Copies of this chain bind each other. A is one copy, B any other.
Amino acid sequence: MHQKSLENYLNSQKELINKHLELYLSELVSSCELEGLKGKGIQEPAKILFDSMKYSVIGGGKRLRPILALAGTEFVNGDIKNTIPTACAIELIHTQSLIHDDLPCIDNDDFRRGQPSNHKVFGEPMALLAGDALLAYAFHLITTKTPKEVSPRIILKVMEEISGSNGFIGICIGQAADIQYTAHQNLNEDILQYIHINKTGALIKSAIKTGVLLGNGTKKQLSVLTAYASYIGLAFQIIDDILDVTGQKSKIGKSIGKDKHLCKATYPAIYGIEESKRKAETYIDMAINLLKNFGKEADILRALAKYIINRQL
């Protein structure tokens, strides 16, 4: 796939996701207003909660996870219409994890996606609640917005995947391990992988898997793409670690050099930049290699794998 057509593809998928995220968030606001203080001349007391949720969701982001969910459905020749609510839900979950990560008690990060982080704008209590509400709304979207054509059993499978230790709880597990192993003496690659597989890999894997499930993919397709997602998830986090050392804040949209400052467990901290890059490339090669028995239907997945390794490097 040409660079230009990948860019077009990414932009059009991103636009599709953004349009639906805006729609879903505005629906949440209007549904709550009806049950609020309407007609009593009092401004909705919880408006600030919705503003805080919107601020972080609409504020930017590559929308990589939802794009991977849609790509999973496309790969198995399913209808992406059925995947859009879940793809958006996954982006809400990702956003909640960023908002909570940035809080002073965890990473204490002032910038995210090129703008002040949520708690810098809305204060810590509202950032905390916005994250909580986004997580719940993600599950609400999946249950209420998935088109009727999708069987309720599939929807329950999607919920199971995203809510468990393969999905969101995986993020919490990775984050807890990350905190445990910050500035730790006995760091090794096993632990580093454990952190990355959970903290970043879990939701990337869930995105692709739910895309396949919603597209009615076969067990074989599901297992190939699950392995593919594991590799690109690892590569993605290694690149993220590298960019924290070598990147520019203006391009990445968040603070640079934070990992080293916080003594975080990262690939560059153990292996240095060059060896880390090599490892990321190996994972991407392994991901692409898994697709060797597939034809044109895997072009997007191959291009996405290359995109992950090349972004901003």
Residues on A close to B: CB < 8 A? 28, 31-32, 35-37, 40, 42, 45-46, 48-49, 96, 100, 103, 105-106, 123-126, 128-133, 135-137, 139-140, 143-144, 151-153, 155-156, 159-160, 163-165, 167-169, 172-177, 179-181, 190-191, 194-195, 198
Given contacts A100-B128, A169-B133, contact A45 B105 (CB under 8 A): no
Give the complex CA separation of A137 and B48 in angstroms. Answer: 27
The residue among A144, A165, A168, A191 with the most chain B CB atoms within 10 A of its own CB is: A165
Given contacts A36-B194, A169-B137, contact A160 B132 (CB under 8 A): no
Give the complex CA separation of A126 and B100 in angstroms. Answer: 11
By the criterion CB–CB under 8 Å, are B42 and A126 in contact? no
Q: A32-B169, A136-B167 are in contact. List 14 more A-B contacts (CB 8 A).
A: A31-B165, A45-B180, A46-B174, A100-B129, A105-B128, A129-B172, A130-B172, A132-B135, A133-B173, A137-B163, A137-B169, A139-B163, A140-B160, A140-B169
Provide the main secondary structure of the chain A interface: helix
> In the complex, which residues of chain B have a beta carbon less than 8 angstroms from the beta carbon of A163?
136-137, 139-140, 143
By the criterion CB–CB under 8 Å, are A165 and B132 in contact? no
- What are 18 residue pairs bridging A and B, where the CB atoms are less than 8 Å apart in the complex? A28-B165, A45-B177, A45-B180, A49-B172, A49-B173, A105-B125, A126-B176, A129-B175, A129-B176, A132-B168, A136-B164, A136-B169, A136-B172, A140-B164, A140-B169, A151-B152, A152-B152, A159-B159
**A201 shortest CB reach to chain B, Å:** 11
By the criterion CB–CB under 8 Å, are A128 and B153 in contact? no
Given contacts A140-B169, A159-B139, A169-B137, contact A125 B106 (CB under 8 A): yes
**A47 shortest CB reach to chain B, Å:** 9
By the criterion CB–CB under 8 Å, are B191 and A45 in contact? yes
> In the complex, which residues of chain B have a beta carbon less than 8 angstroms from the beta carbon of A144?
160, 164
**A38 shortest CB reach to chain B, Å:** 11
Give the complex CA separation of A115 and B226 in angstroms. Answer: 43
